[in-house]
Chain A
Amino acid sequence: MNTTSLPPADAGPGGPFARWFAPLAYAYIGYGWWQSSIASLSGAAAAQSPVPLWAAGVFAVGARVAGWLLEAGYYVAWWRWRGRVLSFGRFFQWTVALSTVDLLAEAARRSEPTAAWMRAARAWLAGPRPEAGLNVSSWAIAFGGAGLLTLLRLTLVADVQRRALGSRWMAPALLVAATWVASRVVLAWSRDLLTGSSLR
């Protein structure tokens, strides 16, 4: 069995951040996501919600951390099944670090550019759907956020796996791409089932 693990924490290319800088970096990423969640939640629904905005933001960050844990666990379990070993802790750190690309995409989606070229640039970067409304189709919600930043994020996730496993591009890239497409399809199906014929 070929067992390749990510390099130890003190190896340069192994970790996303230098050890002394990591706590500050993760705290900043957490704060960034908290701010992003607050900005996303501060709409009409939040104004009429009995839950304070800050608490909703904390809950949203908690849900995101759970998502990172799930994502890291998913890839680690896949490679374990294929007889390869990824370090869960290290891959989780990379997952958190690479979420800054998503954070950037979120910020781009929330931006309100006035110039046409900036709106076009936003669509290329963060996908053609700038924000999810009530009457947006499930498929537009699922795939409308796909832009260059999504491609960058997926490429970087595949690259971390490629480097950690010492493998070629093909297998990690296929796995990451297939996982992303499947997750989007599941999202669209789930939303359709939750809304039925409502909002159409």
Chain B
Amino acid sequence: MRRTLGMMWLGLVASILVLGLVWLADRGRSWERPRWEVARFEPILIEAPRGERSGTRVVAVHPGCPHCLAGLAALVGRRDASRDTLGLIALVVDWPRRPGEHFARSLGVDEVWWDEQGLWRRHWGRRVYGETYTFDRRGRMVESGHVLSPAGEVIAPAKGGEGG
């Protein structure tokens, strides 16, 4: 019994150490700073522009995530009720199949793109669905946020030294 328990404690301590090493390795990685470059994504739906855009707001959505889809719908509602000149784009991430046009239209956004190569996760290091990124006209990230952030969408202004 004591030997079994001893092995159990050893396993627990080893698991915590492994978690710490994984954390260290993950924190040591340098991630690519998000840029909106359409050549890197697959277009699914592009609606006619509603007017001149001051930039774009991209929302990372996963078709199986009800929270981020509902958050995006709320964002679309707020955008339609305001004079927001940002183009609203849904970027479908972590989805192995090309999203259908019916699904894309149901989102109510200006454009829907598919992250076929997994850049969002593997290059940008992003892992939270529903995160929003505001890009200027040149595709540089101005700020990031989340559709469920209660104080609006902005969580953090873009940081200059964010990865290579």
Q: Which residue numbers of A lie inside 8 Å of B, CB to CB?
A: 43-45, 48-50, 77-78, 80-81, 83, 133-135, 182, 185-186, 189-190, 192-200
Contact = CB atoms under 8 A, between A and B. Distances in A.
Interface stretch (B5-13, B47-55, B107-115): B5-13
21 contacts: A44-B71, A44-B148, A44-B149, A49-B66, A49-B70, A50-B70, A80-B2, A80-B5, A81-B9, A134-B148, A134-B149, A186-B19, A193-B19, A193-B26, A194-B128, A196-B26, A196-B125, A196-B128, A198-B125, A198-B126, A199-B131
Contacts of A193: 19, 22-23, 26
B16 A186 contact: yes
A199 B163 CA distance: 15
Nearest to B3: A81
B127 interface: yes
Interface in B106-164: 121, 124-128, 131, 144, 146, 148-150, 155-156, 159, 162-163
A49 B31 CA distance: 31
Given A80-B5, A135-B155, A135-B156, A197 B162 contact: yes
Contacts of B1: 80
B67 A48 contact: yes
Contact of A45 (B67, B124, B162): B67
B146 A49 contact: no
A134 B67 CA distance: 14
Interface in B49-82: 66-67, 70-71, 74
A43 B150 contact: yes
Contacts of B144: 199-200
Given A48-B71, A186-B19, 10 more contacts: A48-B74, A50-B66, A50-B70, A80-B5, A81-B2, A192-B27, A195-B127, A196-B31, A196-B125, A199-B131
Contacts of B20: 185, 189
Nearest to B33: A197
Nearest to A197: B125
Contacts of A43: 150
Nearest to B30: A197
A86 to B, nearest CB: 13
Contacts of B67: 45, 48-49
Contacts of A189: 19-20, 22-23
B23 A192 contact: yes
Contacts of A182: 16
B126 A197 contact: yes
A136 to B, nearest CB: 10
Nearest to B159: A200
B19 to A, nearest CB: 5
A17 to B, nearest CB: 30
Contacts of B26: 192-193, 196
B121 to A, nearest CB: 8
Contacts of A197: 31, 124-127, 162-163
Contact of B128 (A50, A190, A195): A195
